[in-house]
Amino acid sequence: MKFFIDTANLDQIKEAQDLGVLDGVTTNPSLMAKEGITGRENILQHYKDICEIVDGDVSAEVVATDFDGIVKEGKELAELHPQIVVKVPMIKEGIKAIRYFSENDIRTNCTLVFSAGQALLAAKAGATYVSPFLGRLDDISTDGLQLIADIRLIYDNYGFETQILAASIRHTMHVVNCAKLGADVMTGPLSSIDGLLKHPLTDSGLEKFLQDAKSFQ
Ligand code: G3P
């Protein structure tokens, strides 16, 4: 399972990279705005800065919603750095653009996916990644994990190579349950990765080991 961090915060990206388990980064316009990154040139430079920190894929989202605009913007993003994956919304024009990108060797991440039918369409169009937002489904009392399971079943039934990128992860149990369900990738905040380290028995066990080791000295 690949671990992506879902942020545009360079310090958090560096911290996750330093842990040695980071496989990539996902961003979206809201995450860029949260970091105060505005203006086209600054945004493009920020994507390049992220690519310099991590070794893996970096999703950069288009904001155009028409086919020509998505293609133009996506090409500009893809040319920034070989690690860039063009993030395209799950709309009709987006699906057409994903097909175009797929035929032109530009990798894509189909975002804002909330149903198995949408995920099937993204795979048919040739998306590299599909991003079901499980946290946002849970937020409205719907079973986000069931969507991950449904997409896994459908993709395995037909051998689709589109990778399931479980997005909108909120906490460590989302990560663990997505791993059990066979999601290819998870993207979440730094806390969802750091939280995997924690167990009170680890802390108390280590404390006892260190206490007893004092007798060796
Ligand atoms: O980047 C897409 C997705 O992960 C957004 O998550 O937390 O805004 O629902 P969230």
CA 217/CA 209 separation, integer angstroms:
13
pLDDT at residue 217 tops 80: no
Report, as an integer, the average pLDDT of 151-177. 98
Global pTM?
Answer: 0.96
State the pLDDT at residue 216: 83
Task: Calculate how far, in angstroms, residue 172's C-alpha sits from the geometric centre of ligand 1.
Answer: 15
Can you say whether residue 21 is alpha, beta or left, with left for phi > 0 and alpha for psi between -120 and 50 degrees? alpha
Hey, which of 3, 13, 59, 168 would you mutate to test ligand 1's pocket, going by the most ligand atoms within 8 Å of its Cβ?
Answer: 168
Atom 5 (ligand 1): residue with closest C-alpha? Answer: 168
**174 and 140 Cβ atoms separated by less than 8 Å:** no
Q: Is 133 in the pocket of ligand 1 (CB under 6 A)?
A: yes
Residue 72 is a catalytic residue: no
Instruction: Catalogue all structural domains in the chain, each as residue range(s) with its CATH number.
Output: 2-214 (3.20.20.70)
**Taking all residues of the chain, what is their mean pLDDT, rounded to a whole number?**
97
